[in-house]
Structures are given as C-alpha cells and as structure tokens.
Chains A and B, each alone.
Chain A
Amino acid sequence: MFDKLIKKAGLEDIYDKVIHEERLSSEDGVRLYQHPHLPALGYMANLMKERLHGDKVYFVRNQHLNYTNICNKGCLFCSFYALPKDPAGYVLSPEQIQERMRTYAEIPISEIHMVGGVNPKLPYEYYIDIVKAIKEVRPNVSLKAFTMIELEQIRRIGKKSLEETLIELKEAGIDALPGGGAEVFSERVHEELFHAKSDSDKWLDTARTAHQVGLPSNATMLYGHVEQTEEKVYHLTQLRALQDETDGFLSFIPLSWHPERTAISHLPGPTGQMDLREIAVARLMLDNIPHIKSFWIMNTPAVTQVGLWYGADDMDGSVLEYEITRDSDTDRMQALSQNQMLDMIAEAGRHPIERDALYRVLDTPDPVLPSYLSVELEEAHSTM
C-alpha cells in the first residue's frame, strides 16, 4: 500500500532510485522540493535513514559558547551581531569563557560548540588562547569551534596560510569545525544578504583544507529567506561533490531561519512543512554524508521530534546558553534537559544514543515510553 501511494504521488522513479541506492540527480532534488505530498518525502527519507542508522537517534550534552558578538559583516538575516563600537558588543576573555564552563561543572558535558562574530580587533593569539582555556577546564571535551568565515579572519589577522592556521588550532585543541556560515551557495543570495562575507567557493575551499589537515566538519544551509529551490539543490550537490572528494563532513544541518530582530524581519520565515522538507530532501540527496541533524533550537522541539521520521538521526543536544537565534533580547538560556531529550526520542519510537562531537558513542540509555503509550498490544481486545 505504501509503495502504491508513493507511486500514485508520481514519485515512482525517485522511489526506485532510493530503494536501489542510486544517487539522485539535481532534477530529482528540485522535484522533491516542489512535491506537495510531504509524508511521501518523509517515508522515502526514512527508508534511507533507517538503512544508515536503524532506529538510532544521536544526541549530545553540550554547551554553546559565543566568544564575541562583534562582527563587521552586517548579514541581513542575522539578529546576533553588534557592529564594532556598538555598546552592545562584547568579547569574552579566556577567563570569562572558563567561568561560563565552570557554571556547569557538575554536568557531564562532552561537546563544546564555540562560534562568534568576525571581530577585526581580536589578535591571532586570542583564538589560540581561548581554545587552550577550554581544554584546560575540560581536557576530554570534544571541541567544535569556528565557522569557515571566522577561520578566514583568523588566518588573515595571523598572516598565515589557512593550512598553517588550521594545524595550529588543531594542536591548541579543536577537534572539529561546526560548519556554519555556509548560508546558501548562490551568488544572487550572497549579493543580496551577505555580500561582505566570503562566498560559496571560499567556504568550500576552507572546508576542503580543513578536511585535508584532519579536521572533520559539519555543513549547514540557512533557508527560508530569499533563496530559491534550484539554489538549495545546487547547495546540496556542491556539498555532496566535496564529500566525494574529502569524506570530511560528519553531518549536515539545515538551519531554519528566524526573522525576528533581523534587518529583513518583514519576511514571514519558513513554515513547518518547509522545515520537514529540508530534512527529508537533505537526507535523500546527501547519500554520502553520514548524519542529518535537526537542530531543535532553530526547528522547534516539536518539528525536530517529527523530523526523526523525516530523515534526521541527530537532534543536537542540551545547548546551554544559545545566543545566535533567540526571540527576545534578554533570554539567553535555551536548554532541553537530558530527560526531555530522552522522552522526545522514546516517544517517537527511537533509540537514544549519546555521542560526542565526533559521533563517538558515549552511552545508550534505554528508552522509556511516556505513560499514555504504555499499552500492551496483546492485552488489547475489542470492547466496542
């Protein structure tokens, strides 16, 4: 019946490719983006997700650190940055970063995610120092830090080659790169929304170099603003091509744009169907990237949980103190407790796997169903 419904929806050829593990074309990608039968996309993406990961869903106990919000790039979709000289701007010293980490000393955090603005005032040594400071507090934590855009700035201020910069940061303690700042690989969107920032070629070159020096990374795409379908498909196929070359991407994270407090807040922002569609199409197109993450802060916890059946095998983590996207000026704390995450995964009929930044397995807690679902099927018999 389900394959009949997929065929009836006019997706038979793509379904055949998915079943036979054939690579999807750009044209297939465009059709998937434009196809209205959302559960059909989810159904196919889930076949692929289960082939790769069975019923596993990865999560991490992590802390986010944003070392500075000062940024000279002025991207129109961003609500986080303060321009140099803006009184709202801040820079965290290595000591302040350590202090923030010690606030959560009793939580077994395995991943630190650290990104910031492109702050032209910070010297090269600062970046090395904050990396070392983090490893001093938690020597065993896996540290995921600096987007491709920040790395470009760090290289420039240090007057070093990108390769040399990456090797020095790696020696100082970073384990992986988070993959932000990719936005949408489109010259048109680049011109319109983030022209001061480096373009897609530069982003891909930086990722390639990082992978070559042994630093794996994630990859992202920020959607739901002015981009077009073809541009998103191009973005995915570019990532797929680089992955064929380097095998350095750990995961892909579609980022649902939030209009609040940005320069283009008149745009309505992505819908729930779009959020699920991005997860499903990414899973189907990116046949060579192991993990697809639904980042709950951007997608909302509700959509993220549904996304566990639309191709996502990772829901990120506890995320203490996230500042990049938030709906009010004052609320910095955004966190899901360990129990909330486990509950979401268990309710969805999945098996939780705690991981670190490199997807090394740390724990496999037993899922516990919420009480409303605790019904023995054998006991059930017709009463009506």
Chain B
Amino acid sequence: MITDIAEKISAGERLNYDDGLRLFLHPNVTELGLLADYIRRQKHPDPMVTYNIGRNINYTNVCWVRCKFCAFYRPPGDQEGYTLPDQEIFSKIEELIGVGGDEPESCEILMQGGLNPKLKIDYYERLFSEITQRFPAAYLHSLSVAEIVYIAQISNVSVKDALMRLRDAGLKSLPGAGAEILDDEVREAIAYRKESTQEWLDVHKTAHRIGMKSTATMMFGSVETVEQRLKHLLRVREVQDESLATREGYFTAFISWSFQPEGTELPETRKATGYDYLRTTAIARLMLDNIENIQASYVTQGPKIAQIALRYGINDFGSTMMEENVISAGGVSFVMPTDEIARLIEDAGYSAQRRNTRYELIENSDR
C-alpha cells in the first residue's frame, strides 16, 4: 500500500528513493494517476494543456559513435551518410514558419545530428548566426550533449567556451536528448561510446550557469531496472536544485520516452508498454517536484496512450514535429497535425494553448 506516500504528497513533502521504488512496484495505475494528476493541478491549476510548433532538422546522419539503440546513424564514409546543405535547412525553417507564423522566437528548431568529424564549431557558429539573422521567428533549441562535447573536443575548446560561442551565435536552449538512462551501468551496456552520466549532467549544469535553459529526458525500456530509472530521476532533480539556487538557467521540462528496438542492435528487446509509460510518467511527475512541466511523447506512445497521459501528470503535448527521422528509423513514429493535437487535448477536458520554447503562452494563430 502507498497510503503513507500519498499522505506525504498531500502534505507537499519531497519523496525519497524508497518512496519512488515503492511507487514503481505499485501496480495500481489509477492510484498513481490520481496522485500525479493532483500534483499537476497544484502546479498548473488552469485546465489547459500546452503545445509547441516546431520541427526536427536532422542536419547530418554521419556519426562515429554507433549506439546500439540507434537506427538512424551512418558511419563516416558510408554512402548513405549526408550533411544537409544550408539552403535545405533554410527552406525547412521557412516551411515551419509558414505553419507557425512570424511572431519572434515562436517556432522551435530542434537541430540534432550525429557526431560528424567534419563539422567543427565554426560550422555551427556560422549556421546559427545566419538562421538567427534570417529568421527572427525561429528559436534554436538544438544540439544534444554528445554533439556539444564532441564539437568542443574536435575544435579544441572547453565545453563552457563552446556553449558560450554557440549561445552568442544564436543557440537559445538545449534539448535533453541523449540522457538515455543516467546511470553508468546502463550507459556502458547501451551507449558505451557516449558521454558518462556525470558528463551529461555537467554539460546541462554549465549551460544553466551561463543562463541557458534546457530540458531533461529519459529513455526507458531498454536494459535498465526501475531502480536505475529512479536514480536517473533523482540525479536530474539534484542538478535542478543546484541550478534553481543560482537563479540562472534551469530545466524547463522533463520528457520520458520508451526505447524503440526495431532496427537497432537490440531488436529482441521486449518493447515497453503503454502501462509502463503511464506509470513512469506519473512517477516522474511525483519525484520531480522542482521541474515545472512534464511533456508527453506521442511520437513513441501513439495518440491513445499520450492522451491518457494527460491525466497522469502531463501538462504539455510537446512539439508538432513536422518531421522525425531518428525514432522512425527505429520503426515507430507518430506525427500529428496541430488540429489533431488540439482535438485530443480538448477531448481530455482541457483547452489547447500554444506556447513557445520558454513556455510562454502565445496566441493560437495557427488554428
């Protein structure tokens, strides 16, 4: 029974590791939903779910890392490798602004790519400055930790200097990509060439210290146990405590999604269920008392489970994602028009409200 944990939640007390583990082992998903929905309403009393207009731009698929869970990358030298020409990137941004309207900094650009040995920091500085000058409506929420660490390394600068130069060129915030499970035992099993847990956390901390905001993610359902998921959540919470104390940047949102085994080196992995997703999402809402927003992952869960999750602690439906290449390379991908997102939100008893990447509300000019 979790009555004592429910009482802690009701009293506004912070949950600890043991509480979290007991929640993960508690099968009654409706009780987790009741508690997570209660906290969600404390943090977001208005019956509203936000969404964002944005698109992924996978500017290169060349990557030397070869993570087992990734079906997207091509190794350097592979003839299927690409780096998008600037003009193609610009026309993708134009397309996005065509949908999202020209309010300044309202359209989110999520540039993510492989670790491509040919692309040093000057490539990004030039590209980001040009995007910022050409498209005032764009908001660069781009690059994963792995990319930043790699860019710094091949350009012989520190991570902090790299982040400051990228920021000055127009990079506004960091997506939480590549967090996978922030536990080295898991990372060694599924992403041993990637940054360590500490490195991932440090890059976000550094970004926060220079005034940048970021998001945090968790990819569950590969080889980890619920204990390792819980450690992940607590590590994110600890960094957030520190970042909030310095009053600079911080995590704006947390997003969890499930590992998509198709096309990866772990194709036989049992795929995480919607039940697991709802419980994990609800527990994230309960444990992460210092993160304002919890985002849905309809790309991995599909519209039905993602909509149910709006009563499991989620207050944001994420971005419209005009295209998505990384997860779809792993087999499953749901892309949804804004009208459909709004219908699902309204069917769940909320109003649908567009926001920007900073979670400021903007007018629903797109509808």
> A residues touching B (Cβ–Cβ < 8 Å)?
1-2, 4-6, 36-40, 42-43, 46, 268, 271-276, 300-303, 305-306, 309-310, 343-344, 347-350, 370-375, 377, 380-384
Contact of A273 among B22, B270, B302, B308 (CB under 8 A): B308
Chain A: which residue is nearest B349 at the CB level?
A36
Q: Which residue of B lies closest to A46 (CB)?
A: B30
A46 and B304: CB pair below 8 A? Answer: no
**How far apart are the CA atoms of A370 and B275 in the complex, in Å?**
13
Whole-angstrom CA separation of A2 from B35 in the bound complex: 8
Are A43 and B34 in touch, CB under 8 angstroms?
yes
Q: How far, in whole Å, are A302 and B274 apart by their CA atoms in the complex?
A: 5
CB within 8 Å of A: which B252-294 residues: 270, 273-276, 278
Chain B residue nearest in CB terms to A302? B274
With both beta carbons as reference points, the residue of chain B lying nearest to A39 in the complex is identified as B33
Pick from B10, B34, B274, B303: contact of A39, CB under 8 Å: B34
Flag if A302 contacts B275 (CB, 8 Å). Answer: yes
In the complex, what residues of A have CB within 8 A of residue B304's CB?
271-272, 275, 300, 302-303
User: Is the CB–CB distance between A38 and B17 below 8 Å?
Assistant: no
**Contact B347–A271 (Cβ < 8 Å):** yes
Q: Is the CB of B25 within 8 A of A377?
A: yes
Do A383 and B231 touch across chains, with their CB atoms under 8 A apart? Answer: yes
Given contacts A382-B17, A382-B18, A383-B231, contact A344 B273 (CB under 8 A): yes
- Give the distance in Å from the alpha carbon of A312 to the alpha carbon of B37 in the complex: 22
Please judge, given known A-B contacts A1-B9, A39-B37, A375-B226, whether A273 and B307 are in contact too, CB under 8 Å: yes
Closest 10 CB pairs of A and B: A349-B27, A272-B304, A36-B349, A39-B33, A302-B274, A1-B6, A42-B30, A43-B30, A38-B311, A272-B308
- Kindly list chain A residues whose C-beta atoms are within 8 Å of the C-beta of B276: 347, 372
**Contact in complex: A373, B234 (CB < 8 Å):** no
With A39-B30, A272-B307 known to touch, is A383 a contact of B17 (CB < 8 Å)? yes
Instruction: Give the number of residue pairs across the A-B interface with Cβ within 8 Å.
Output: 146
List 14 extra interface pairs beyond A39-B29, A349-B27, CB under 8 A.
Answer: A38-B348, A39-B312, A43-B30, A271-B344, A271-B348, A272-B305, A273-B308, A273-B347, A300-B304, A302-B301, A303-B304, A372-B221, A375-B24, A381-B18
Whether B7 and A1, one on each chain, are in contact in the complex, defined by CB atoms closer than 8 angstroms, is yes
B153 to chain A: closest CB distance in Å?
30
Judge whether A370 and B270 touch: CB under 8 Å: yes
Can you identify 13 A-B contacts, CB atoms within 8 angstroms? Answer: A1-B10, A36-B348, A36-B350, A38-B311, A272-B304, A275-B304, A300-B302, A300-B304, A303-B305, A305-B275, A306-B275, A343-B270, A382-B17
Q: How far is the CB of B118 from chain A (nearest CB, A)?
A: 39
Where the two chains meet, the residues of B that have a C-beta atom closer than 8 Å to any C-beta of A are 3, 6-7, 9-10, 16-18, 21-22, 24-25, 27-35, 37-38, 47, 221, 224-227, 231, 234-235, 238, 270, 273-276, 278, 301-308, 310-312, 340, 343-344, 347-350
**Cα distance A357–B17 in the bound complex, in angstroms:** 45
> A370 CA to B25 CA in the complex, in Å?
12
Q: A159: shortest Cβ distance to chain B, in Å?
A: 47
Q: Residue of A at shortest CB range from B224?
A: A372
Which residues from chain A contact B347 at a C-beta distance below 8 Å? 271, 273-274
What is the CB-to-nearest-CB distance from A377 to chain B, in angstroms, rounded to a whole number?
6
Contact indicator A46/B28 (Cβ below 8 Å): yes
Assembly CA distance A113 to B6 (angstroms): 44
B308 lies within 8 A of A276 (CB): yes
Instruction: Give the complex CA separation of A303 and B17 in angstroms.
Output: 29
Give the Cβ gap from B183 to chain A, nearest Cβ, in Å: 11
Pairwise interchain contact B311-A273, C-beta atoms closer than 8 A: yes
Residue contact A306 to B31, C-beta cutoff 8 Å? no
In whole angstroms, how far apart are the Cα atoms of A28 and B307 in the complex?
Answer: 24
**Cα(A374)–Cα(B18), bound, Å:** 15
Chain B residues, CB < 8 A from A40: 30, 34
Docked complex Cα distance between A301 and B17 (Å): 31
Q: Which residue from chain B places its CB closest to the CB of A307 in the assembled complex?
A: B275
Q: Check A309–B231 contact: CB distance below 8 A.
A: no
B308 engages A306 (CB within 8 Å) = yes
